[in-house]
Amino acid sequence: MEQRKKIILVGGGFAGLHLAQQLNNRSFDVLLIDKQNHHQFQPLYYQVASARLEPSNISFPFRKIFQKSDNIQIRLAEVTKIVAANNKVETTIGEFDYDYLVIATGCKTNFFGNEQISKHALSMKTTEEAIEIRNNILLSFEKIISAKDGEKDALLNIVLVGAGPTGVELAGAFSEMKSHILPRDYPHIDFSKLKVILLDGSKNTLNSMSEESKKASRKYLEELGVIIRTETVVTNYDGKTATLNTGETIQTSNLIWAAGVTGNVIEGLPPENMVRNRYKVDRYNKITGTQNIYAIGDIAYMETPLYPNGHPQLANVAINQGKNLASNFLNLLKGKAQKEYEYKDLGSMATIGKYRAVVDLPFIKFQGFFAWYVWMFLHLMLILSVRNKLSIFFNWAWSYLTKDSSLRLILKQKK
């Protein structure tokens, strides 16, 4: 009997998970290597950060997902180097050989080389980072009670850098917390002085969406009391003071950086395989200049007639690249033709607090109450397990009825 080909899959985000699910109990041996032991549902990180959902609601252990699999193995490790000449990868737990290598490592926060900002700002690319934001924000409210007058401004300013979906959704969530929750939790603090400040270098909020969504998102945020400063760049942050390109400064103990991403690149492939810190791939997601190494999801840069500058780094792109590559692997075994990938734009959306959302679909654009329901329904359907769907639905329903949640736990590790 012919030995099954071995695929090493690095990363279990949207792209990696869907590739693995399509190959589950099929004719390949798959080794999934990830630094985390779970898949993370990134679109709802902001709800963890704003104490609306528990991390377990949006985290799915790989061993649970694949507990009935006979061909998928999981290793908790970091891949440190690709040795393409020998068809192997080096990891923090040893070396592994492959017939095919699939890189699905996604992205990390891009601080654009500013080490000061990197050192002191909060970011939100992992569940742990979302929890850290929650801890820091809640701790700030505790500190306000006993803080001296000169220390309170920094604790009462929440600064969000980047007005894409992450920044906009966080700004809306913190503003609603300010209005409905904090006055009840801390009746002796004047939260009228709490400022949620959203900064962006472009002219608009949600700058990659339609004109209607840009205008509506700004209007909704301003209705919630968010201070919006567009065409404004943070040039430095030392943990207490944010310096702007205008020369102004903002005192803040909580600066959340959502202003860009960069690829999680693994050492070992030559620079000519890269474009803007992403692996350049052909229409089949094979990295150019290689024979058996692929990249999918946010880390992949693919030029097509419809997307000559690469695809947007969206969950839907990652999911469908994972599915398409899995299908091509199976076609390879059957001697069938490979299928080129092309992204079908299904639209984009963002929520800006209760009753407020914007939705851009290819055939229609709408905002407000109905958009909010569409956003909730689609995100709920994308959650993996029935148990988690029910848990999230209960949390959302409770929050809807009471304008409250009971999840404001501060969980800090001892250093």
**What is the average per-residue pLDDT within 337-355?**
92
Tell if the pTM clears 0.85, that is, is over it. Answer: yes
Domain 115-259, what fold? Answer: FAD/NAD(P)-binding domain (3.50.50)
User: Hey, what are 336's tokens?
Assistant: 């069938």
- Tens digits of residue pLDDT in 366-413: 999 999 999 999 999 999 889 999 999 998 988 888 777 766 777 776
- Rounded Cα gap, residues 32 and 9, in angstroms: 5
- Rounded Cα gap, residues 279 and 408, in angstroms: 40
Pairing of strands 59-61, 38-40: antiparallel
**pLDDT higher at 22 or 3:** 22
Q: Which residue's structure tokens are 């094979």?
A: 286
Q: Would the pLDDT of 148 be above 90? A: no
Q: Please list, in sequence order, all residues whose beta carbon lies within 8 angstroms of the beta carbon of residue 34, skipping any fewer than 6 positions away.
A: 10, 11, 12, 16, 62, 74, 75, 76, 77
- DSSP 8-state code for residue 181: I
User: Hey, what are 377's tokens?
Assistant: 């329904």
- Burial of residue 375 (CB within 10 Å: 0-12, 13-18, 19+) is buried
Q: What rounded mean pLDDT belongs to the chain?
A: 93
- Burial of residue 305 (CB within 10 Å: 0-12, 13-18, 19+) is exposed
- Rounded Cα gap, residues 142 and 121, in angstroms: 20
pLDDT of residue 404: 73
Q: What is the dihedral of CA 385, 386, 390, 392, to 10 degrees?
A: 20
**What is the average per-residue pLDDT within 341-348?**
91
What percentage of residues in the chain have a pLDDT greater than 70? 98
- Are 5-109+262-334 and 115-259 equal in CATH topology? yes
Q: Would the pLDDT of 258 be above 80? A: yes
Tell whether domain 5-109+262-334 is in CATH 1.10.3720.10: no
User: Hey, what are 99's tokens?
Assistant: 């017939």
> Poorest-confidence range of 65-79, 176-190, 222-236?
176-190
Which pairs from 183-191 meet CB under 8 Å and 24+ separation? 184/404, 185/141, 185/408, 186/141, 186/144, 186/145, 188/145, 189/141, 189/144, 189/145
- Tens digits of residue pLDDT in 98-137: 999 999 999 999 999 999 999 999 999 999 999 999 999 9
Q: How far is CA 24 from CA 33, 35, 72, 327, in A?
A: 15, 21, 7, 12
**What is the average per-residue pLDDT within 329-337?**
94
Is residue 102 within 8 A of residue 294, CB to CB? The reply is yes
Write the DSSP assignment of 44-107 as a string of letters: GHHHHHTTSS-GGGGEEEHHHHTTT-SSEEEEE--EEEEEGGGTEEEETTEEEE-SEEEE---E
Domain boundaries, the chain: 5-109+262-334, 115-259
